Amino acid sequence: MMNRVFLIVSLIFALVFAPSGFGASAAQAKSASTSLRAVFLECRENFYNNVPPSFTLERRKSLSAQAQGLCFDGFAVLHSGVSRTPLWAAEHLTRERVTLAASLVREDSFRVESRLPHADRAELRDYSRSGYDRGHLAPNGDMASTSQQYDSFSLANIAPQNATHNRNLWRHIEGSTRQLARKYGDVYVVTGVAFLGENVQQIGGRVLVPTHFYKAVYIPSERAAGVYFSPNTENARYEVISLDELAERTGIKAMPSVPAGVRARTHELLKPADDGVQDGERASPADLPVALEEVGDLTKASSWLLFLLEIFKYLVGLLNE
């Protein structure tokens, strides 16, 4: 009997004090970032100076958890298995590309991304009757070939988006970005989502709904950059912020190889088509915590506690034999 009690106590001690696995260590996070850079070598033409977006030091561990880089025809994506959405999509838009894209007829072909693990990816049923649009990060309107267009409908490039926001303000922001490519010849674009505050919603019981969408634009010929930043709501509000401000709010350094002075300045981008859209107010500092990392930690913590509970029940059963 004493041997059995000793064994049970030892097992409980080992379970409680073993490494929790709630988050990667700093070394693991750094390794993950290195692996992502290697993945993106295949599609580095989508990034300014061939350098993909990176994480701020404070957010690296949480944002890199369950993140997977994917190369597509015409764009690159960093997908999160925590939110089951892309975190960002990067593109290099040229005058020739957007001209060709304008002549392409849209053919919807939304589909599951088979390169992602089942547990980490969104399914088509998650969006069914959710009340949200399947919002592109790299938009179909930027795609210059049927191959690029087909790739843009992967759910790895899709996030839940308020229907009014997607079909009005955001559509105009996408159009203004293409207009910049026509005007200046080429621009680099990183479109992403943010999960700010504590009340992040879900669809399908598993896909997180972004609180904000953003589109960062760099114009090499002008050495100028700015970011459209807009809440994912039906109210037509947006603001233009700097790349540095985007990194502070979201933990994403969208274009790390852009000169520091350019990243710190806010270039006034084209105003979206005049449909009553007005510049919005800045986000409150209280909104800045990234809820994505909190939700991920809670999910992992809940699973770990349930596992401990089952082990405890089993051990108690042994004592009662």
The predicted-structure confidence for 261-278, as pLDDT tens digits, reads as follows 999 999 999 999 743 344
Query: In which band, very low, low, confident or very high, does the pLDDT at 317 lie, cut at 50, 70 and 90?
Result: low
In order of start, what are the domains of the chain with their CATH numbers? 2-320 (3.40.570.10)
C-alpha span between 59 and 133 (Å, rounded): 28
Residue numbering of the annotated binding site: 166
The predicted-structure confidence for 88-125, as pLDDT tens digits, reads as follows 999 999 999 999 999 999 888 999 999 999 999 999 99
Q: What does each C-alpha distance from 249 to 9, 167, 296 come to in angstroms?
A: 46, 25, 18
So what's the pLDDT on residue 102? Answer: 96
DSSP element (H, E) containing 292: helix 291-320
The total number of residues shown for the chain amounts to 321
C-alpha span between 256 and 116 (Å, rounded): 26
Is residue 58 predicted with pLDDT exceeding 90? no
Task: Cite the active site residues.
Answer: 136
pTM of the model: 0.79
- Mean of the per-residue pLDDT values of the chain: 84
C-alpha span between 146 and 162 (Å, rounded): 27
